[in-house]
Amino acid sequence: MEGSNVTLVVEFILLGFIDLPSLQGFLFGIFLVIYLSILLGNGLIILITKTDPSLQTPIYYFLGNFSFLEICYASVTVPRMLADLWTHNRNISLWACATQLCLFLILGVTECFLLTVMAYDRYVAICKPLYYFLIMKHNVCVGLVVGSWILGIPVVIGLTYQIFSLPFCDSTELNQVFCDIYPVLQVACGDTSMNELSVYADVVFFGIIPFILILNSYIRIITTILKLPSATGRSKAFSTCSSHLIVVCLFYGSGLIEYLQSKSSYSGIRNKIFSLFYTIVTPMVNPMIYSLRNKDFIEAMRKPFSKCIR
Judge contact between 84 and 90, C-beta under 8 A: yes
Residue 85 lies in a domain: yes
**Domains identified in the chain, total number:** 1
- Kind of pairing between the strands at 173-174 and 91-93: unpaired
- Buried b / exposed e over 181-213, threshold 16 CB at 10 Å, is bbbbbbbbbeebeebbebbbebbeebbeebbeb
- C-alpha to C-alpha distance for 26 and 304, rounded to whole angstroms: 36
Residue 308 domain flag: no
Return d(Cα 187, Cα 27) in angstroms, integer. 27
3-state class percentages of the chain: helix first, strand second, coil last, to nearest 5: 75, 5, 20
Q: Tell me if 182 sits within 8 A of 159, measured CB to CB.
A: no
Q: What sign has the CA pseudo-torsion 181, 185, 188, 193?
A: positive
Smallest CA-to-CA distance from 44 within 309, 278, 294, 310 is with 294
Contacts 24+ apart (CB under 8 A), 21-29: 24/85, 24/88, 25/85, 27/85, 28/82, 28/85, 28/86
- The whole-model pTM stands at 0.88
Interatomic CA distance for residues 116 and 152, integer angstroms? 14
pLDDT 10s digit of each residue in the chain, 310 long?
Answer: 444 555 566 788 888 888 777 888 898 999 999 999 999 989 988 988 888 888 888 988 998 999 999 999 999 999 999 988 888 888 888 899 999 999 999 999 999 999 999 999 989 988 888 899 999 999 999 999 999 999 999 999 999 999 988 888 767 888 888 888 888 888 888 778 888 888 889 888 998 999 999 999 989 988 888 887 777 667 766 776 777 788 888 888 777 777 776 666 666 676 777 778 778 888 888 877 776 666 767 777 676 655 555 5
Nearest 5°: phi and psi at 189? -90, 155
* 303 inside domain: no
**Residue 39 placed within a domain:** yes
Which CATH number fits the domain that encloses residue 193?
1.20.1070.10
What type of residue sits at position 130?
L
In a domain, 3, yes or no: no
What residues make up the domain containing 241?
Answer: 11-298
> Quick check: 117 and 142 in contact, CB under 8 A?
no
**Residue 44 domain flag:** yes
Are 12 and 187 in contact by the 8 Å Cβ rule? The answer is yes
Handedness of CA 113, 114, 116, 120 (dihedral sign): positive
The total number of residues written for the chain in this structure: 310
- φ/ψ of residue 171, rounded to 5: -80, 125
Does residue 309 sit within a domain? no
